[in-house]
Structures are given as C-alpha cells and as structure tokens.
Amino acid sequence: MGEFAEMILDGIFCESCGCFISANPKGQTLKCEDCFEEELIEAVENDIWPDGLTFSVWQEIKQKYSEPNVRE
C-alpha cells in the first residue's frame, strides 16, 4: 500500500476526495466537511437514516436539507 493510501486510512486526508483534513490523525478514515455534507444530502434525498445519528439529529438534518413543499 502506498504512503498516501495509509494517510487516508489514518484520517489525514479525506477518504472521498483526498483533501487534507488534519495533521493530527484520528487513526480511522474520515470525510471532509464538504463530502460529509454531500453524503447527508444524498441520505435525505433517498430517505436513508445514516448510522450513528440519533433520531432528533436526523430530523434536524432532514428539515435543513429537504426541499420545501410548495402548494400551488
């Protein structure tokens, strides 16, 4: 495995886009804020509750990223 791949696995670079996250690695793969937000938007669009989120947090995220229902 290459050095860059190891740094992604350590959490220094984003696992999705490869951008720099932190000089102090967490020891696990991480996503940058932009990639994490894209993942949340996709979850809301597909109505899939991501692992690790409480129900109240999931409801707040759904409300924030859902398109408003407009009556015509």
Domain residue extents for the chain: 1-31, 32-72
Q: What is the mean pLDDT of residues 59-72?
A: 79
Judge contact between 14 and 30, C-beta under 8 A: yes
In order of 6, 33, 45, the CA distances from 19 in angstroms are: 14, 10, 25
Q: Could you give the percent of the chain with pLDDT greater than 70?
A: 96
Task: For the chain, give the mean pLDDT.
Answer: 87
Question: What pLDDT does 17 receive?
Answer: 94
Q: What is the mean pLDDT of residues 59-67?
A: 84
Look up tokens 């409480």; give the residue: 54
Question: What pLDDT does 41 receive?
Answer: 87
Q: Given pLDDT bands bounded at 50, 70 and 90, which one contains residue 49? A: confident
